[in-house]
Amino acid sequence: MLILGIETSCDETAAAVVENGRSVRSSIVASQDEIHGPYGGVVPELACRRHLEVIDGVVYTALEKAGISKSDLDLIAVVNGPGLIGALLIGLSFAKSIAYGLGIPLIGVHHIEAHLYGALMSHEDVPMPAIGLVVSGGHTVLFQMRSIGEYTCLGSTVDDAVGEAFDKVASLLGLPYLGGPLVEKLARKGDRHAIEFPRAMLKKKGFDFSYSGLKTAVLYRIKGYGKRRTDKDKISENEKADIAAGFQEAAFEVLVKKAIKAARKLDANSIVVGGGVSRNLRLREMFDEEAADKGIRVYFPDPELCTDNAAMVAGLAYHKFERSPAGAGLSLTADPNLEFIA
Ligand code: KG4
Ligand code: ZN
């Protein structure tokens, strides 16, 4: 079954063709970082305009790279939430028009569920039940996953998402926009034990997370308490690297320990991680170190399936369609706060 996936929930215009839920025939992602960079965050109006400008080129390039024409498609899949409403509507309207024109079904996919599916796409036969962890710029959520489509939310961030904290810390360290990956790079040069940042919610019961306190601790470390540090006692490059390393360690220790605690409590032998931050190699290393002696295996997506893409959307749609073909139709609507936990 050939599925075209479309993703426009935030600031990436993406399209992909995936065969039978797993085999990626093409995956195109048009990023908008250069547009939003000068504003230090996504400007919804600008995101929508760019989606409109590039969406047909992105979709047709995906078809071309897959070596197929529109008429070979069996199903169209589109992210219909959560996300920016204007941005979601552009992808949805485009998807509807192709589905209508070709007379084939259209299915809506939840953005976070698609991130969870990323790791299942990269690894065959992940044992269930599993613990699912999505760590992205917009979400930090822990799930119990009984099968594809059956989840219970265990906890989520009470304030900032972990990716958002990475991007804010990057900006405090003077790194360019969407600096999450640059914090990882800088951290490699630092001493991860030099600065002990707080591990928020680690000792608390339950599975929620909090990242705004950690971000503030980094702010005080850089600017001095009460922002007393002046230009002349500017922070050294070595100290910046230690801050990046210490921040990363604190941010990840909570994720890793809580996910493993959830796995032990709920008798799961596997943890599935997804979302942009799951690209981080230190996170992967910390999970492997902590899980190895506990008989738990941790599954990550291939790098290109971590950050926003449409291959995970088309892949997940295969399973959703198999389960409920009746649910696919042109009445689909976009919902900026779409829920998927039953
Ligand atoms: O999943 P994603 O592409 O978009 C959302 O759904 O939010 O995640 C983007 C987030 C950004 O905050 C970005 O800085 C972060 O993932 N990110 C990373 C790394 N690569 C991307 N954070 C830490 N280390 C990385 N290597
Ligand atoms: Zn995402």
Question: What is the CA(121)–ligand 1 centre distance, in A?
Answer: 19
Q: What is the largest CA-CA distance in the chain?
A: 67
This prediction's pTM: 0.95
97 and 143 both lie in a single domain: no
Residues flanking ion ligand 2, Cβ below 5 Å? 136, 308
Best substitution site from 283, 307, 308, 313 to test ligand 1's pocket, by max atoms within 8 Å of Cβ?
307
99 and 206 both lie in a single domain: no
pLDDT of residue 56: 97
Q: DSSP states of 146-204 as a string?
A: EETTEEEEEEEBSS--HHHHHHHHHHHTTPPSS-HHHHHHHHTTS-TTSS----TTSSS
The answer to the question of residue 228 being in a domain is: yes
The answer to the question of residue 339 being in a domain is: no
Give dist(CA 221, CA 215) in Å, integer: 10
Q: State the CB neighbour count (10 A cutoff) for residue 325.
A: 12
The closest-lying atom of ligand 1 relative to the alpha carbon of residue 167 is 14
Question: What is the CA(28)–ligand 2 centre distance, in A?
Answer: 15
The answer to the question of residue 52 being in a domain is: yes
40 and 142 both lie in a single domain: no
Total domain count for the chain? 2
Ramachandran angles phi, psi of 182, nearest 5°: -75, -30
Instruction: Give the CB-side neighbour count of residue 270, counting CA atoms within 13 A.
Output: 18
Structural domain harbouring 102: 2-115+305-323
130 and 272 both lie in a single domain: yes
The closest-lying atom of ligand 1 relative to the alpha carbon of residue 137 is 7
Give dist(CA 6, CA 37) in Å, integer: 24
Give dist(CA 20, CA 244) in Å, integer: 41
The closest-lying atom of ligand 1 relative to the alpha carbon of residue 111 is 6
Best substitution site from 33, 136, 281 to test ligand 1's pocket, by max atoms within 8 Å of Cβ?
136
pLDDT of residue 102: 96
The closest-lying atom of ligand 1 relative to the alpha carbon of residue 170 is 14
Pair of tokens at residue 68:
């197929």
Question: What is the CA(231)–ligand 2 centre distance, in A?
Answer: 37
Q: State the CB neighbour count (10 A cutoff) for residue 163.
A: 24
Question: What is the CA(168)–ligand 1 centre distance, in A?
Answer: 12
pLDDT of residue 233: 64
The answer to the question of residue 294 being in a domain is: yes
The answer to the question of residue 340 being in a domain is: no
189 and 318 both lie in a single domain: no
261 and 318 both lie in a single domain: no
| 8 A C-beta contact, residue 55 and residue 13 | yes
Question: What is the CA(28)–ligand 1 centre distance, in A?
Answer: 17
pLDDT of residue 229: 66
pLDDT of residue 228: 64
The closest-lying atom of ligand 1 relative to the alpha carbon of residue 283 is 24
In the DSSP assignment, the letter for residue 49 is H
The answer to the question of residue 167 being in a domain is: yes
The answer to the question of residue 243 being in a domain is: yes
Question: What is the CA(232)–ligand 2 centre distance, in A?
Answer: 40
83 and 159 both lie in a single domain: no
Name the residue with the closest Cα to ligand 1, atom 25. Answer: 181
ω into 129 cis (within 30 of 0): yes
212 and 281 both lie in a single domain: yes
The answer to the question of residue 292 being in a domain is: yes
pLDDT of residue 232: 58
> What CATH number has the domain bearing residue 86?
3.30.420.40
66 and 182 both lie in a single domain: no
Is the sign of the CA dihedral 271, 277, 280, 282 positive or negative? Answer: negative
137 and 215 both lie in a single domain: yes
pLDDT of residue 292: 86
Pair of tokens at residue 230:
């002046």
261 and 317 both lie in a single domain: no
Is the sign of the CA dihedral 1, 70, 84, 214 positive or negative? Answer: positive
314 and 271 both lie in a single domain: no
Best substitution site from 277, 283, 312 to test ligand 1's pocket, by max atoms within 8 Å of Cβ?
277
pLDDT by residue, tens only, the chain of 342 residues: 999 999 999 999 999 999 999 999 999 999 999 999 899 889 999 999 999 999 999 999 999 999 999 999 999 999 999 999 999 999 999 999 999 999 999 999 999 999 999 999 999 999 999 999 999 999 999 999 999 999 999 999 999 999 999 999 999 999 998 899 999 999 999 999 999 999 999 988 999 999 999 999 999 999 876 666 666 567 899 999 999 999 999 999 999 999 999 999 999 999 999 999 999 999 999 999 999 889 999 999 999 999 999 999 999 999 999 998 877 789 999 999 998 765
* Binding-site residues, ligand 1, Cβ < 6 A: 136-138, 163-164, 166-167, 178, 180-181, 184, 275-277, 279-280, 307-308
CB contact set of 201 (below 8 Å; sequence gap of 6+): 158, 208, 209, 210, 254, 258
